[in-house]
Structure 1
């Protein structure tokens, strides 16, 4: 089993445990902050299950129907996860505003504090594990999952602090006010996940820094006199690159092919944790201007 899939199994199991703990205490105590955290953990459970399915589907080999594989299921999963986070934040915001308008006293305060303290510790270890996997694999789904649980880490800490303050001061408004803060933070954290996933689904080019490195490799080959039509896109754990490389008309196809192979190897070395697919079109002359004129017509 891939490390990424193992990570989703671990996160799903942890989310299931946290849902049972938080939902029980949240319903009994009437705390909006604890209930919001329980709902978020339930969504974590749902998203982690979806992520496992996404990774399992994305790693299937290309076939007659999907010639380029199913790697785009990964950015799709990231968009779904970001959207789920945003929708849960809207629900939490609504519940918090209702409690501000109609205050009610919390119960089972000590139990709530112990549950949130345990949740904080468990989530901390999970975030550390997911960050390790994300750094090692550079997988977009795991990065989104790690960020999701990182928001949980902050929200759990904030809820625990709020419960302690309510216990000491007796001020019940601290609970819904914190719920509003958590909701806003969740939406703020979800937007970059959604943006990155959408850009990948739309086949956005690689970052400018990566493009510069690719161009440097192409410019460093003496037998390549020029290049054009450099096109790049990323699809989950796969990167697709195509370029037209111009050679001297007198070079043999064999020698030009050797140079193309060397270029491909150097470019692949830039993305160690990705599957890189490179297509080098070998031109005997620079036809970029001719093709541009034809495109206009």
Structure 2
């Protein structure tokens, strides 16, 4: 089993444990903040299960129907995860406003505080593990999952603070105010996940710094005379690079292939944590103007 899939199994197990703990205490205590945290953990569980499905399918080899594989499932999963976070945040905001309009006293404060302390500890360990996996694999789904659970640490800490303040002051309004704050923060944290996933689904080019690294390697190839029509995109854990390389018209096809293979190897070394696919078009002369004209008509 791939490391990414193991990570989703572990995060699913942790989310299940947190749902049981928080949901029980949230219902018994009547705390909107704890209940909001329980709902968030329930969505974590759903997302982790979906992430496992996404990773399982994204790693399948290309076939007759999907010639380029299913790597787009990863950014699609990230968009769905970000959307689920936003929807859960809206529900939390709704519940907080309802409690402000119809106040109700909180109970089981001691148990609630203990559960939130345990949740912070368990989630912190999970985030450290997911960050390690995301850094090692460069997988976008795991990265989104790690960010999601990281926001849980802050929200759990805020819930714990609210419970402490309510216990000391007896003011239940603090619980609702904090619930609103958690909802807003969840929406704010979801925006980058959704944005990155959408850009990847739309085949956006790599960032300027990555493109600069690619052009530096291409320009350092002394056996070539020029290059043009450089195109890049990212799809999950895959990076695609396409470029036209101009050779001297007198070079043999064999030598041109050797140079292209060498250049391809260098480009793959730039992104060791990703699966890099390089397509090099070998041109005997600069046909950039012809390519540009074709692009205008397509």
Instruction: Name the SS for the 2:227 alignment partner.
Output: strand
Deviation at 1:296, TM superposition (A): 4.1
Q: Which of structure 1's runs of 4+ aligned residues deviate more than 6 A?
A: none
- Cα shift at 1:223: 1.5
Q: Partner of 1:73 in structure 2?
A: 73
- The 2-side partners of 1:2 and 1:169 are apart by 50
> What is the match of residue 231 of structure 1?
231
1:224 is paired with a residue whose SS is coil
Offset from partner CA, 1:146-197 (integer Å, 9 cap, x none):
0000010000011011101110111110000000000000000000000000
> 1:222 offset after TM fit, Å?
1.1
1:152 maps to 152
TM-score if structure 2 supplies the norm length?
0.98
Summarize deviations over 1:188-241 as a string: whole Å, max 9, x none: 000000000000000000111110011011111111111011001111111111
> Take 2:142 and 2:87, find their aligned partners in 1: how far apart are those partners?
20
- Decide whether aligned partners of structure 1 residues 296 and 75 sit closer, same or farther in structure 2, where only a CA change above 3 A counts: closer
After superposition, residues 119-130 of structure 1 pair within 5 angstroms as: 119-130=119-130
Segments of structure 1 that go 5 or more residues without pairing to the other structure are none
Map 1:106-255 → 2, pairs under 5 A = 106-255=106-255
Q: How does 1:267-278 map to 2 (within 5 A)?
A: 267-278=267-278
What's the counterpart of residue 261 of structure 2?
261
Q: Supply the RMSD in Å over aligned alpha carbons.
A: 0.8
Which residue of structure 1 aligns with residue 92 of structure 2?
Answer: 92
Separation of aligned partners in 1, 2:206 and 2:188: 24
CA distance in structure 1 between the partners assigned to 2:294 and 2:50 by the alignment:
46
Report the CA distance between 1:102 and its aligned residue. 1.4
C-alpha distance in 1 between matches for 2:181 and 2:257: 59
SS in 2 for 1:65: coil
Aligned to 1:64: 64
Query: Displacement of 1:293 after TM fit?
Result: 3.4
Shift of 1:100: 1.1
Whether contact under 8 Å (2:229, 2:291) holds in the other structure is: no
Tell me the secondary structure at the aligned position of residue 203 of structure 1: coil
Partner of residue 105, structure 1: 105
Contact 2:76 2:197 in 1 (8 A): yes
1:249 shift after superposition = 0.2
Contact 2:15–2:44 at 8 Å: present in 1 too? yes
Alpha-carbon distance in 2 for matches of 1:184, 1:157: 15
TM-score, normalisation: structure 1: 0.99
Q: Is there any run of 5+ residues in structure 2 with no aligned partner, and where?
A: none
Aligned length, in residue pairs: 297
Partner of 1:12 in structure 2?
12
- Name the CA distance, whole Å, in 2 between partners of 1:240 and 1:16: 37
CA offset at residue 278 of structure 1? 0.6
